[in-house]
């Protein structure tokens, strides 16, 4: 149940996604060429933003790993 938001180089949101039960995200509509920042949020986890630049290429799968912020 993590939320991923992709913003363009001007800080405008272009996609918002929610992970499936296995923690996977999938985008089926392509993004235009340009620079993007990926932000991920999930309760009790901290994620570093990911910078990405697209130029007429297919992006290989990315691994987005969070750090647990609360100890159970």
pLDDT tens sequence across 60-71: 888 888 999 877
- Across the range 3-18, mean pLDDT stands at 96
Position 72 confidence tier, pLDDT thresholds 50, 70, 90: low
Report how far Cα 21 is from the mean position of its chain's Cα atoms.
16
- Cα–Cα–Cα angle for 27, 28, 29, rounded to 5 degrees: 100
pTM, 2 dp: 0.85
What own/partner pairs with CB < 8 Å and gap ≥ 24 does 26-31 have?
31/6
Percentage of the chain lying above the pLDDT 70 cut: 99
Q: Which two tokens stand for residue 51?
A: 């910078």
Mean pLDDT for the chain overall: 91
Q: Is the per-residue pLDDT at 3 higher than 90? A: yes
CA-to-CA distance for 1 and 5, rounded, in angstroms? 13
């Amino acid at each position: 149940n993590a939320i991923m938001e992709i913003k363009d180089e001007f800080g405008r949101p272009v996609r918002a996604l929610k992970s499936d039960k296995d923690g996977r995200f999938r985008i089926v509509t392509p993004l235009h060429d340009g620079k993007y920042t990926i932000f991920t949020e999930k309760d009790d986890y901290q994620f570093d933003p990911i910078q990405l630049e697209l130029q007429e290429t297919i992006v290989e799968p990315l691994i987005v790993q969070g750090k647990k912020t609360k100890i159970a």
